[in-house]
Structure formats: C-alpha cells, structure tokens
Structure 1
Amino acid sequence: MSEYLTYKEACEILHLKSYKGLYYLIKNGLPVIVIGNSKRINANDLKKFMEDHTVTTAPKD
C-alpha cells in the first residue's frame, strides 16, 4: 500500500462503493493533503481516523 492514497484507493480500502461515504469522513475530520489539483489521504491518517472513531457495541440478546 502506498503511503499516500488517491480517493479511489481509500474507497477500495474502506470498501465504499462511492465517494459519498469518503466525503462524509473528510467532512468529519479525515485529513486530506492538497498539492495543486491533486488530493491524497495519508494511509496512516486513514488508519488512525478509523481507530479513533471505532465504536464497540454489546451484542443484542
């Protein structure tokens, strides 16, 4: 895996079928690196964001 992911690569890792879910994560704090017209997501930032937003729930009886 590359250190810097395209939006398409990030969606594939997260198993998202469209960019809508990725845009939601970005709106809620997922950092994006912008260089000129290119936008990338640091793979470590993606992993940390997902870990920080993981919620554990108890199974329903």
Structure 2
Amino acid sequence: MSSAFTNDRQCRVVLSVEPQAQSSPKTAPKTTTTTPTLTRSASNPVAKGAAHAKLGNPRRITPRDP
C-alpha cells in the first residue's frame, strides 16, 4: 500500500512542477524570442520521463538485492 501512496505523491510532484515550468516560458517570450520556450517545453517531457525512471528503477532494484 505504501508504494501506491508514494506513486501518488510522485505524480503530484510532477503535476506541481508542470505549471511552474509553463509559467516561466510564458514570461520568457515577452522579453526574449520564442526559441527558449521551445527548448524548455521540449525539455519538460524528457525531464518527466527521466524523473520517473530514476525514482522507479532504484526502488525496484533495492528490494531485489536483499
């Protein structure tokens, strides 16, 4: 059951990070060009996948070792 709660917390963290990342690019185009928004928006999904993989893999490996 604890694993289910941790997964929910991870999802909440990712969701909370999305609006923050989206708000920064929105303010960026006002002062800069649209290029930074493209790079940031492209890096967001990559970071999400990497975060899930990094959080999931070590936890799955640790129980197998002992």
Instruction: Name the TM-score, length of structure 2 as normaliser.
Output: 0.31
Instruction: Name the TM-score, length of structure 1 as normaliser.
Output: 0.33
Higher strand fraction: Structure 1 or Structure 2? 1
Looking at CA atoms only, which structure, 1 or 2, has the larger radius of gyration?
Answer: 2
Greater RCO (CA < 8 Å, at least 6 residues apart): 1
